[in-house]
Protein backbone atom coordinates (compact mmCIF):
# COMPACT_ATOMS: atom_id res chain seq x y z
CA UNK A 1 0.00 0.00 0.00
CA UNK A 2 1.04 3.56 -0.58
CA UNK A 3 2.43 4.90 2.64
CA UNK A 4 3.71 8.36 1.85
CA UNK A 5 2.52 10.96 -0.62
CA UNK A 6 4.46 14.18 -0.16
CA UNK A 7 2.80 17.35 -1.39
CA UNK A 8 4.42 20.76 -1.24
CA UNK A 9 1.64 23.33 -1.18
CA UNK A 10 4.17 26.13 -1.82
CA UNK A 11 5.44 24.52 -5.02
CA UNK A 12 4.51 25.99 -8.38
CA UNK A 13 3.92 22.44 -9.60
CA UNK A 14 0.20 21.56 -9.52
CA UNK A 15 -0.85 19.23 -6.70
CA UNK A 16 -2.20 16.56 -9.06
CA UNK A 17 1.21 16.42 -10.78
CA UNK A 18 2.96 16.03 -7.43
CA UNK A 19 0.63 13.16 -6.52
CA UNK A 20 1.09 11.55 -9.95
CA UNK A 21 4.87 11.87 -9.68
CA UNK A 22 4.91 10.46 -6.14
CA UNK A 23 2.93 7.37 -7.15
CA UNK A 24 4.95 6.98 -10.35
CA UNK A 25 8.16 7.08 -8.28
CA UNK A 26 6.83 4.40 -5.93
CA UNK A 27 6.03 2.19 -8.93
CA UNK A 28 9.35 2.76 -10.72
CA UNK A 29 11.41 2.06 -7.59
CA UNK A 30 9.42 -1.08 -6.80
CA UNK A 31 7.99 0.25 -3.53
CA UNK A 32 4.63 -0.84 -4.88
CA UNK A 33 4.57 -3.92 -7.07
CA UNK A 34 2.82 -5.00 -10.24
CA UNK A 35 -0.86 -5.81 -9.71
CA UNK A 36 -0.78 -4.33 -6.18
CA UNK A 37 -4.02 -2.57 -5.32
CA UNK A 38 -3.78 1.16 -4.75
CA UNK A 39 -5.81 2.94 -2.09
CA UNK A 40 -9.13 4.28 -3.32
CA UNK A 41 -9.48 7.92 -4.33
CA UNK A 42 -11.51 8.50 -1.17
CA UNK A 43 -8.81 6.90 1.03
CA UNK A 44 -6.06 8.96 -0.60
CA UNK A 45 -8.12 12.12 -0.29
CA UNK A 46 -8.69 11.49 3.42
CA UNK A 47 -5.07 10.57 4.18
CA UNK A 48 -3.66 13.57 2.31
CA UNK A 49 -6.45 16.11 2.95
CA UNK A 50 -6.57 16.78 -0.78
CA UNK A 51 -9.74 17.18 -2.83
CA UNK A 52 -10.86 13.86 -4.36
CA UNK A 53 -11.14 15.52 -7.79
CA UNK A 54 -7.43 16.36 -7.63
CA UNK A 55 -6.59 12.75 -6.72
CA UNK A 56 -8.87 11.55 -9.55
CA UNK A 57 -6.99 13.71 -12.07
CA UNK A 58 -3.64 12.28 -10.94
CA UNK A 59 -4.98 8.72 -11.19
CA UNK A 60 -6.43 9.37 -14.65
CA UNK A 61 -3.03 10.58 -15.86
CA UNK A 62 -1.28 7.55 -14.35
CA UNK A 63 -3.71 5.31 -16.20
CA UNK A 64 -3.23 7.21 -19.46
CA UNK A 65 0.55 6.90 -19.07
CA UNK A 66 0.21 3.14 -18.47
CA UNK A 67 1.40 3.04 -14.86
CA UNK A 68 -1.91 1.82 -13.42
CA UNK A 69 -5.07 0.10 -14.61
CA UNK A 70 -8.58 0.16 -13.21
CA UNK A 71 -10.90 -2.77 -12.70
CA UNK A 72 -14.49 -1.48 -12.42
CA UNK A 73 -15.87 -2.15 -8.95
CA UNK A 74 -12.50 -3.34 -7.62
CA UNK A 75 -10.18 -0.32 -7.83
CA UNK A 76 -6.87 0.69 -9.35
CA UNK A 77 -3.81 -1.53 -9.58
CA UNK A 78 -0.17 -1.16 -10.62
CA UNK A 79 0.16 -2.04 -14.30
CA UNK A 80 2.74 -4.54 -15.55
CA UNK A 81 5.85 -3.21 -17.19
CA UNK A 82 5.09 -2.37 -20.84
CA UNK A 83 6.02 -5.02 -23.39
CA UNK A 84 6.31 -2.55 -26.26
CA UNK A 85 8.95 0.13 -26.31
CA UNK A 86 7.50 3.64 -26.20
CA UNK A 87 10.05 5.38 -28.42
CA UNK A 88 8.36 8.76 -28.11
CA UNK A 89 8.43 8.73 -24.30
CA UNK A 90 12.01 7.44 -24.26
CA UNK A 91 13.00 10.33 -26.55
CA UNK A 92 11.30 12.82 -24.22
CA UNK A 93 13.16 11.41 -21.23
CA UNK A 94 16.51 11.49 -23.06
CA UNK A 95 15.90 15.17 -23.76
CA UNK A 96 15.30 15.77 -20.04
CA UNK A 97 18.55 13.94 -19.26
CA UNK A 98 20.43 15.97 -21.88
CA UNK A 99 19.04 19.24 -20.55
CA UNK A 100 19.88 18.23 -16.99
CA UNK A 101 23.45 17.28 -17.92
CA UNK A 102 23.87 20.60 -19.75
CA UNK A 103 22.74 22.46 -16.64
CA UNK A 104 25.04 20.40 -14.40
CA UNK A 105 27.99 21.27 -16.63
CA UNK A 106 27.00 24.94 -16.62
CA UNK A 107 26.87 24.87 -12.81
CA UNK A 108 30.37 23.42 -12.66
CA UNK A 109 29.85 19.69 -12.23
CA UNK A 110 32.71 17.65 -13.62
CA UNK A 111 32.10 15.18 -16.45
CA UNK A 112 33.56 12.33 -14.37
CA UNK A 113 31.16 13.12 -11.48
CA UNK A 114 28.17 13.10 -13.81
CA UNK A 115 29.18 9.79 -15.41
CA UNK A 116 29.85 8.19 -12.01
CA UNK A 117 26.51 9.42 -10.69
CA UNK A 118 24.67 7.92 -13.67
CA UNK A 119 26.55 4.62 -13.30
CA UNK A 120 25.83 4.39 -9.58
CA UNK A 121 22.13 5.17 -10.07
CA UNK A 122 21.73 2.66 -12.90
CA UNK A 123 23.34 -0.20 -11.04
CA UNK A 124 21.92 0.18 -7.54
CA UNK A 125 19.76 -2.86 -8.06
CA UNK A 126 16.67 -1.16 -6.65
CA UNK A 127 15.89 0.41 -10.02
CA UNK A 128 16.12 -2.88 -11.86
CA UNK A 129 12.71 -4.43 -12.48
Beta strands of the chain (E only): which ranges? 68-71, 75-78
Say how far apart CA 96 and CA 103 lie, in whole Å: 11
What is each CA distance from 29 to 18, 42, 74, 129, in whole angstroms? 16, 25, 25, 8
85-103 pLDDT, tens digit per residue, is 778 888 888 999 999 999 9
Of residues 102 and 123, which shows the higher confidence score? 102
pLDDT of 71 reads: 95
> Up-side HSE of residue 22: CA atoms within 13 Å toward CB?
20
Q: What mean pLDDT value characterizes the chain?
A: 89
Q: Is the pLDDT of residue 26 over 60?
A: yes
Say whether pTM exceeds 0.75: no
Amino acid sequence: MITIIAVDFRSSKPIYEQIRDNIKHLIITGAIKQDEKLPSIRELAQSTSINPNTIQKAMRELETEGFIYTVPGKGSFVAPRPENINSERIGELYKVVKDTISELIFLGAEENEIIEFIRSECFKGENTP
